[in-house]
Chain A
Amino acid sequence: MLYRKKRPLLVFLLPSLLLMAVFLYYPFVENIVNSLFDIRGLAAARGEFLGLGNYRRFFSEDPVAMTSFFNSLKMMGLTLVFQVGLALMLALMVDSVRKGQQLFRVVYFFPIVISATAIGLMFNLFYKYDGGMLNQLLAKLGMDKVLWLSKESAYTMVVIPTLWQYIGFYFVIILTGLAGIPQEIFESAAIDGATGIKKIWYVTLPLISDVLITCVTLAVTGAIKVFDLPSVIARNGAPNGLTHFLGTYMHNQAFVAQNVDYGSTISVIIVLMGVAVAQLLNRVIARNSEALR
């Protein structure tokens, strides 16, 4: 009865939807069309009609595309566990202390505001083979130099800073969720004897399930378009194209190779895949949190 009239609904929805329709959806529909034509160069006109050729190429003829596809899938899992997981733990811990809370909130945010170029350079100087910081440390300990960005280890070495940089992002969002919980609930829970882990599991987590769903959505979509830090640390999927992600490969195709149609194809695949995985995970979480409640 409260929210029945349709006109206010329109007023609330229209401004956002209009902006997104004009500047996002309509251009993206053009992008879908672009994926069917041959386009050389960002501002070039559409050429020959290719049909689904680009999609065929992606799934059956392009080994680098497959590498980037699976790297991105792996990245989604890692993001969920390490970014959202760690951020949740940090947020719960920071939320539980009183002294220094403001300080932690500010410093945990630092990595996000520093540009990827600077952080990338820093990690490049960590990993550098001749005179890099990690190898200097090893030398001090009397150990041999290590090739940090070898074919075997490069993926891990690229993923570590990428995960680390954005933990603060989920940290802030989860804090927001925690801020939304009415204090009385904790107080009554404490009287009922729920403390520590128990309190978190039975009281806090169900209450922030909506925010956790938000985090999962953002994590999955963020993981799939991961781009700037990897592209600075490992140029063009270095070494040997092994560290390409869908995001970096798409950017590489669109800008370096000037292969806009294929870049568009990859971005369509990114969106489809991201939406599918996000919906799936949301359903799983929603079901579980219902059960907890």
Chain B
Amino acid sequence: MKKLFALVLTIALLGSFALAEGVTIKTVSTFAGTDAAADTYQQLLDQWAAETGNTVEDASATSDEAWKAGVINDFAAGNEPDILFYFAKTADSARILDRVVPIAEINEAYPDLNLTENAAIAESDGKIYAIPVRAFWEGLFCNVDLFEKYNLELPTDWAKFETAVKTFKENGVVPMAVSFSDVPHYIVEFAILSSGTPEEHKARPAPGETVPESWVEGMKLLHELYEMGAFAADANATTEAITSQMFRDGQAAMQLDGSWFANGIPQERWDKVVVMPFPTHAEDADPTAFIGGVSMGFYLTRSAWEDPAKRDAAVDLLRYLTTGDNAVALGGFAFGGTIITSAVDMINNANDMLSPFQDEMDQEVRADKWFSKVPSIVDGTLTDIDGMWAEVVAANPFGK
């Protein structure tokens, strides 16, 4: 009996010793599915676990509204992970701020780490909670082979753009691939940027104020483009999946979109596509300005921070994922060729990088009072642009 007791005790001790060797860190991210860095991410987690003797339980998934809400729910129910890769500076992230640790606080406790504090994603309280590893840019994607086929110059200014649109239209090529009912996001932002100064684009009008002139002109520009024949006849009806495929297959000449869109361009077209700033329509607009920034980052949750057993390990994993080559690897995009070189030119030559102001808007106001009206603006059934903006601003889209 005594012997048995001793044996059990030994096993229990050994067991607890084995447990004490490593902790389990729970992670949640969007590095999943066909994300360019999904494999890299898994590999990094495995390597870190092997190096430290800890275990990682990862539950990454492709992001959509259900996933976003699921993460918020996790926090509300106390099921949050230890390390989270999530949106920053959005209505969603605002809801978890009291449950994640500001980067400054981590740096203070671990001065050697010197984790990046990226001011671009400072939340409304001025604090930075996330470490981004990936930036995005948006621009005008052009199928160069189509421009060559019709002896057209790339649309570096409005006159060239107009010539290109008309020539493509005459030859049965869709000039610009876009679906206004599905994804008007990029084109509306660029139409405004093209219709005035970057300063006007940076405006965040409060109730009682009027929107800058360029916001009105930009919306009118959409109808002008429509009249010019820049869009497919069913641009108001079809879906983004269809129009994007038209661009990727070289059936449409141009598309306004972001860096993630380049990931889907087949490799044999990497050298047939370039990215450039959208040509300026207004005299005072900046022909080099583009839209870009960071939108997601790694968070350390408060629960991991306050768990003495987990704290060091969680901080170490955060460091591991967000510094040095590992961060670069996670930030990778799966494309190359002239897409990347032209994008780099666009970025290097830019006088100004603007963040998309629609992301800072209240989603309800944006969807109901602006985006839902875009198709009618495009086809000319809604002409009271000032009235529309007045309604948007009255709902205080930037103040909520």
Chain B associates with chain A: yes
Chain A CB within 10 Å, residue with most, of B233, B234, B239, B381: B234
| CB atoms of B237 and A236 under 8 A apart | no
For the complex, would chain A's binding face be called helix, strand, loop or mixed by DSSP majority?
A: loop
Interface residues of A in 243-293 (CB under 8 A from B): 252, 255-259, 262
Give the residue of A40, A130, A154, A255 whose beta carbon is less than 8 angstroms from that of B91: A40
| CB atoms of A124 and B238 under 8 A apart | yes
Interface string of A226-240 (1 = CB under 8 A from B): 000000111111111
Given A41-B69, A43-B76, A129-B233, A240 contacting B375 (CB threshold 8 A): yes
| CB atoms of B367 and A252 under 8 A apart | yes
A161 within 8 A of B: no
Given A41-B92, A129-B234, A131-B251, A257 contacting B368 (CB threshold 8 A): yes
Interface string of B217-261 (1 = CB under 8 A from A): 000000000000000111011111110001000010000000000
| CB atoms of B238 and A129 under 8 A apart | yes
Interface hit among B41-49, B146-154, B174-182? B174-182
Question: In the complex, what residues of A have CB within 8 A of residue B234's CB?
Answer: 127-130, 147-149
| CB atoms of A240 and B364 under 8 A apart | no
Interface string of B115-140 (1 = CB under 8 A from A): 00000000000000000000000000
B107 within 8 A of A: no
Chain B CB within 10 Å, residue with most, of A40, A130, A149, A256: A130
CA distance A259 to B72 in the complex (A): 16
Question: In the complex, what residues of A have CB within 8 A of residue B246's CB?
Answer: 130
A241 within 8 A of B: yes
B10 within 8 A of A: no
Give the residue of A121, A239, A252 whose beta carbon is less than 8 angstroms from that of B241: A121
B376 within 8 A of A: yes
B98 CB, nearest partner CB in chain A, Å: 12
| CB atoms of A130 and B232 under 8 A apart | yes
Given A235-B179, A258-B91, A42 contacting B372 (CB threshold 8 A): no
Given A41-B92, A154-B237, A238 contacting B232 (CB threshold 8 A): no
A70 CB, nearest partner CB in chain B, Å: 17
For the complex of A and B, the 4 pairs showing the least CB-CB separation, nearest first, are A238-B181, A149-B237, A42-B69, A257-B367
- Residue positions of B touching A, CB distance < 8 A: 65, 68-69, 72-73, 76, 91-92, 95, 172, 174, 179-182, 232-234, 236-242, 246, 251, 362-364, 366-368, 371-372, 375-376, 379, 381, 400
| Pairs A–B under 8 Å by Cβ, sample size 11 | A41-B95, A43-B76, A128-B234, A131-B251, A234-B237, A235-B240, A238-B237, A238-B375, A240-B381, A252-B367, A255-B65
- Residue positions of A touching B, CB distance < 8 A: 40-44, 64, 121, 124-125, 127-131, 145, 147-150, 154, 232-241, 252, 255-259, 262
